[in-house]
């Protein structure tokens, strides 16, 4: 397996939380981006000892003013030329607006560069809540609504897609409607809804492949539960081009999966667009506008949904996610058992301690599993909806 | 080339500065450690927009209290079991003491685990100054003097070695004396002085190897200037076992080299000690105490200086450093020229701007050069002094 980076040279500004221990937010996004070959500027919006899923943590948040100051610092030293930006958790509406201000500035600079509008691409994860519950301040929701029109790709979960679209998602029809509303209302070119647990029309439960029977990851099979991601790149008239990818889910709660998903989408989207341009150049050497130079990397209306860079990127991202989660599950079982036994066995350990030990054992295992990032085996394919 | 991690599973606590843009402090140390397969807890002591070599930056320092709080946060959730700790720049004496407090606690825990005292190892980079100038507050110097006895390996530059030993280093004899004083006074087991520019007894200028004639890095040959690192692991009676490695230097000033050197030393020292244990187990299966379980991983007095894990680790570290610097130099020349031309050529760019552009172009290139970390070609060998 090669150590050559899979993506072309890419300067990414990554804005998200930092945890000392564990792998969520920028802690996992920055390493993922770097491992794929990106040069990363990492603006950390908090420094916490650990993620909040432990239910206890220490540390501090960065203020909106500090975010603006750091950006000024970059600008004054000519360190503000980014090809892409990834934004995740930002604490509070004022800080969300400060991050939005950075993206708007980068967007405006690219827009002014006629014929190269695609030289800036913003992947926005509008972190607001999950499973029907908002876990940020209420004024963060309108702050994100104001910013979505400046993004190129948003990665809401099902609940966040409802918050942004005002459509309650209960079945395939309402899901499609929510995506149509998002394209139409916000003019947002690309959308991936990252965790759809509805039964979708025409979906079959994916079979768990045995193609890696030699792999140690087979010792912890995924559960029988499945989920989907649903994506769309809009047409020139803001109509959805919808695909879904159905995949099996591992038992347990894993923090940081959304952040890793987002970082991988940054790299695989960039890669897919460059592949597209290379293929186009090979077939018509005279060539038109490169996709990478096109605003928001939006493919022509004639492109089939399954040929969209977004669909191809999502397939690879899910393949990596699946492999990292399989390795994580495998290690988790061993580590948790060892930790409980070291404390005298499960009779001796109270439930709060078990929760802490379980949270730690479920931290995503990335540093020793780079091959899962670089060259995953694609088992779950995009389908038209 | 393999993506399998070169080091055994290792939990590292890395304490140093964070910059949004560029590659110094924890920004390069954390990625280096992760890329080598370590699970890293990253406690950032500052968040600056960029490193101070640009002569302008924005951002904030973390207080001693915040450092203690983050440590409390780790401890209360059972996230405080570290195999190794790496500490770099820490702002101010109180913060240095707070970091020292963490190390002392981890040290005490390992010491209490009889027969496994080596299960914690602290690599301390006593960042105080360079080239005859202290660039921290004066009270940081005594703070470090108080902490050195708790470390396992210190990585001072020549000036910092003078500050700690009170020996002015002007030639081989005074250099050897400084190291003898450091072992004797602080009981510090391992020392590497990272930048010795003296002509040393018996040193010959290393020839620039042509073994990688195919490599693109040959396009920027190192200058004719050379430097040395000088290392020593003490005997049981605190006497030095001295080696030096002589290597050619690239023209230009590169920030972050000390931080990358330190992070690589963490991983290669761990690797060398595990290799030693594996070799010992193969020759005498009954075996005695493993080196990794021995306090400070201190080899028996019978071990030859060139067989010391420290010497072997330093050879690999310098090989990686040399390759990364070669790639950096190559990219730097191209990027700086492009940046100046984009601003209308050198006539149109004032000296302050040139300084900023040069600083940026000299940022270490790591994300796209992982093979330099993982499997470097050793060209410069340790020699006895």
Question: Mind telling me how many Å the CA of A373 is from chain B's nearest CA?
Answer: 11
Kindly state whether B168 is in contact with chain A, defined as any CB-CB distance less than 8 angstroms: no
A366 close to B (CB below 8 A): yes
Say if the Cβ atoms of A22 and B73 lie within 8 Å: no
Joined tokens for residue B127? 């960042």
Q: On the CB side of A124, how many CA atoms lie within 13 Å of its CA?
A: 31
Q: Under an 8 A CB cutoff, do A34 and B367 touch? A: yes
Which architecture, in CATH terms, is A11-384? Answer: 3-Layer(aba) Sandwich (3.40)
Mutation target to probe the A interface, by most A beta carbons within 10 A, among B28, B29, B55, B58 is: B58
Closest Cα of chain B to A62: distance in Å? Answer: 10
Considering only CB atoms, B58 lies closest to which of A1, A70, A339, namely: A70
Tell me which residues of B are annotated as active site: 259
**Which active-site residues of A does the annotation give?**
259
- Distance, in angstroms, between B129 CA and closest chain A CA? 24
The CA distances from residue B275 to B9, B251, B383, in Å, are 14, 35, 21
Sequence-ordered list of residues with C-beta below 8 angstroms from that of B289, at least 6 positions apart, any chain: B115
pLDDT score of A283: 85
Three-class SS of residue B284?
coil
- Mark which residues 111-150 of B lie under 8 Å from A by CB: none
Closest Cα in chain A, distance from residue B246 (Å): 29
Q: Are B192 and B310 in contact (CB under 8 A)?
A: yes
User: B 320-349 residues with CB below 8 A of A?
Assistant: 339
- How confident is the model over B341-376, as pLDDT tens digits? 999 999 999 999 999 999 999 999 999 999 999 999
Q: Which of B34, B59, B72 sits opposite A69 (nearest CB)?
A: B59
Rounded to the nearest 10 degrees, what angle do helices B172-186 and B158-165 cross at? 50
Distance CA A253, CA A359 (A): 8
Cα separation, B383 vs B246, whole angstroms: 9
Q: Residue B38: list chain A partners with CB under 8 A.
A: 367
* A residues 23-42 lying closer than 8 A (beta carbon) to B: 27, 30-31, 34-35, 37-42
Map out the domains of chain B as residue ranges: 11-384
Q: Which residues of B touch A374 (CB under 8 A)?
A: 3
List of chain B residues with pLDDT < 70: 1-2, 201-223, 285-287
Of A31, A43, A78, the CB nearest to B20: A43
CB A249 within 8 A of CB A318: no
Tell me what pLDDT residue A289 has.
87
Out of B42, B48, B367, the one facing A38 most closely (by C-beta) is: B367
pTM: 0.95
A197-252 pLDDT per residue, tens: 887 765 555 544 433 333 333 455 666 789 999 999 999 999 999 999 999 999 88
Taking the CB of residue A2, how many other CB atoms lie within 10 A of it? Answer: 10
Chain A CB contacts of B70 under 8 Å are 20, 47-49, 58-59
B207 touches chain A (CB under 8 A): no
Distance, in angstroms, between A170 CA and closest chain B CA?
Answer: 38
**Is A8 near chain B, with CB under 8 Å?**
no
> pLDDT tens digits for B84-133?
999 999 999 999 999 999 999 999 999 999 999 999 999 999 999 999 99
Residue B230 · residue B193 · CB < 8 Å: yes
Instruction: Measure CB to CB from residue B374 to each of A3, A40, A44 and give the nearest one.
Output: A3
Q: Is the Cβ pair B73, A56 closer than 8 Å?
A: yes
Helix, strand, or coil (residue B384): strand
Model pLDDT, residue A217: 38
Q: Does B55 touch chain A (CB under 8 A)?
A: no
- When CB atoms are compared, the residue of A31, A50, A76 closest to B73 is A50
Q: What is the pLDDT of residue A198?
A: 83
Mutate to test the interface with B, among A22, A70, A365, A371 (most CBs of B within 10 A): A70
Q: In angstroms, what separates the C-alpha of B331 from chain A's closest C-alpha?
A: 12
Torsion of CA B362, B368, B373, B379, to 10 degrees: -70
- A25-58 burial, b for 16+ CB within 10 Å, e for fewer? bbbbbbbbbbbbbbbbbbbbbbbbbbbebbeebb
pLDDT of residue A216: 36
Give the C-alpha separation, B56 to A285, whole Å: 46
Query: How big is the A-B interface in CB pairs under 8 Å?
Result: 168
Residues in chain B: 385
pLDDT tens for chain A, 385 residues long, are: 467 898 999 999 999 999 999 999 999 999 999 999 999 999 999 999 999 999 999 999 999 999 999 999 999 999 999 999 999 999 999 999 999 999 999 999 999 999 999 999 999 999 999 999 999 999 999 999 999 999 999 999 999 999 999 999 999 999 999 999 999 999 999 999 998 988 776 555 554 443 333 333 345 566 678 999 999 999 999 999 999 999 999 988 999 999 999 999 999 999 999 999 999 988 876 667 899 999 999 999 999 999 999 999 999 999 999 999 999 999 999 999 999 999 999 999 999 999 999 999 999 999 999 999 999 999 999 999 9
A77–chain B Cβ distance below 8 A for any pair: yes
Round to whole Å and give the CA distance between B265 and B314.
7
Q: Which residues of A touch B359 (CB under 8 A)?
A: 77
**Chain B residue with the nearest C-alpha to that of A79:** B21
Which residues of A are less than 8 Å from B79 in CB distance? 21-22, 49-50, 360
């Amino acid at each position: 397996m090669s150590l050559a980076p899979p993506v072309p040279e890419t300067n990414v500004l990554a804005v998200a939380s930092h945890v000392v221990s564990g792998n969520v937010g920028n802690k996992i996004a920055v390493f993922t981006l770097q491992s794929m070959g990106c040069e990363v500027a990492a603006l950390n919006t908090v420094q916490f000892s650990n993620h909040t899923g432990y239910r206890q943590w220490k540390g501090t948040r960065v203020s909106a003013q500090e975010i603006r100051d750091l950006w000024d610092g970059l600008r004054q030293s000519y360190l503000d030329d980014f090809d892409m930006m990834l934004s995740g958790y930002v604490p509070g509406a004022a800080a969300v607006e400060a991050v939005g201000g950075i993206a708007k500035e980068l967007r405006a600079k690219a827009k002014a560069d006629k014929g190269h509008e695609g030289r800036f691409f913003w992947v926005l994860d509008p972190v607001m809540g999950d499973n029907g519950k908002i876990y940020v301040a209420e004024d963060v929701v309108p702050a994100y609504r104001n910013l979505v029109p400046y993004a190129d790709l948003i990665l809401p979960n099902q609940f966040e897609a409802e918050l942004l679209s005002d459509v309650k998602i209960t079945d395939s029809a309402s899901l499609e409607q929510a995506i149509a509303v998002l394209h139409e209302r916000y003019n947002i070119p690309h959308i991936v809804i990252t965790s759809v647990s509805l039964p979708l029309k025409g979906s079959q439960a994916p079979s768990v492949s045995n193609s890696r029977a030699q792999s140690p990851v087979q010792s912890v099979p995924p559960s029988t539960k499945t989920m989907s991601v649903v994506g769309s790149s809009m047409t020139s008239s803001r109509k959805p081009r919808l695909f879904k990818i159905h995949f099996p889910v591992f038992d347990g709660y894993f923090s940081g999966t959304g952040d890793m998903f987002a970082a991988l989408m940054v790299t695989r989207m960039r890669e897919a667009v460059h592949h597209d341009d290379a293929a186009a150049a090979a077939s018509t050497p005279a060539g038109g506008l490169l996709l990478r130079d096109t605003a928001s990397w939006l493919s022509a209306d004639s492109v089939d949904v399954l040929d969209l860079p977004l669909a191809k990127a999502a397939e690879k991202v899910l393949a990596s996610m699946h492999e990292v989660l399989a390795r994580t599950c495998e290690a988790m079982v061993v580590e948790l058992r060892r930790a409980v036994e070291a404390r005298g066995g499960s009779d001796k350990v109270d439930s709060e301690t078990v929760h802490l030990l379980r949270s730690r054992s479920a931290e995503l295992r990335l540093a020793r599993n780079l091959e899962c990032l670089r060259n995953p085996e694609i088992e779950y394919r995009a389908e038209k909806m």
